[in-house]
Amino acid sequence: MRIDPVSTIGGYPTLFVRKLMRQLSVGLHWHMKSIPDIAAVSPGEAQTLMRALEREGLVSVDRDAGGETWSVTQLGQSFASATAAKPITRQTAEKALSQFLERVQRVNEDGRFLGKVTKVVLFGSFLRAGVDRLGDVDIAVRLEPKEPNIEIARALNEERAADLAKDGKRFGNFLERQMCWYWETFRFLKGRSRSIALADYKAEKSFVDGVPHQVLLESAEEAPAPASKLTVTRRRLRRAKDCPF
C-alpha cells in the first residue's frame, strides 16, 4: 500500500496516523485510557482521534466490553505497513530485498538482539513478474523473543531498555519500553529503507496468507516443510551502518 505523505486521514496527518497504527498493531487490544500516552494527546483528543479512525475503518471498538476495548482492523494493519515513498525499479527492489535478508541473518546470529526472526513472507507487487515499477517491497516478519523463559526475557528487555535510556534513548510511552526488544529488532530490519514496507506477520496473518505470497524463511520447529526454509550463504558480517550496538 502507498500513501500520500502530505494528505490527512480522518483530519489527522497521514504519517502521524501511520506511526500510531504501527504502535497499536503490536498488541491485540488496548484500552482507551492508554491512547493519550501512546499518541501524545490529551484524553479528550484521544476520544476524538479514535472515533475519527473508527470512521475510516482503521480501528474498531468492542461495544460488548463497554466501548473501552479497541483493536486495529485489517485495513489499519495494512495502513501501518504502507509506504510514502515514490515507485521504485525492480532492480532497486531486488537490491533492497537482498540487503533486508542480510539484516535478518544478522539479527538471528547476533546475541545482542533480544528478538529473532522466525518467519519472512514476501507478498505484493514484487511477485508480479511483469511489473517493472513497484510501489515497494512488501514483507511480513514474525518476531519472537530469543529467550523462551518469559520472566528472564522480561528482565533482559528491561536491562536493554535501561541501557538505551542511559545512552539518550527516549521512550514515548510504557508500551514502547515494554516492547523494546521488539521495536529495536523491527527497526533494525527495516533499516530506514524507503523501499521496504515491513509488516508484523502476526498482526497481518489473515491478509498475507490470503493473497499471493512466498515464504522466504520459516524456523525449523514451525515450518510445515523443509522447502519453506531460506538457505543463506554464511559469510563474515560487518557491523551494519545503522546497528544500534
Write down the pLDDT at residue 244. 53
- Binning the chain into helix, strand and coil, the percentages to the nearest 5 are 45, 20, 35
C-alpha cell at position 143: 518476531
Give domain limits for the chain: 8-80, 88-228
Cβ pair 148, 156 in contact under 8 A? no
State CA 160 to chain mean position distance.
Answer: 20
CB atoms within 10 A of CB 158: 14
Count CA atoms closer than 13 A to 190's CA, side-chain side. 16
Query: What per-residue confidence (pLDDT) applies to 190?
Result: 93
pLDDT for the residue numbered 237: 37
Question: Which among 112, 116, 104 is positioned nearest to 231, based on CA atoms?
Answer: 104
Which residues are registered as beta bridge partners of 71? 60
Spacing of C-alpha 229 from chain mean position: 21
Model pTM score: 0.66
The CB density around residue 189, as the number of other CB atoms within 10 Å, is 23
d(CA 120, CA 138): 11
Render each residue's pLDDT in the chain as its tens digit; 245 residues.
777 888 998 899 999 998 898 888 776 677 888 889 888 889 889 999 999 999 999 999 887 656 678 888 888 888 887 777 778 899 999 999 999 999 999 999 999 999 999 999 999 889 998 888 888 899 999 999 999 999 999 999 999 999 999 999 888 778 889 999 999 999 999 998 988 989 899 988 988 999 999 999 998 755 554 444 444 333 333 444 555 54
The domain made up of 8-80 has a fold known as: Arc Repressor Mutant, subunit A (1.10.10)
For the chain, the residue count is: 245
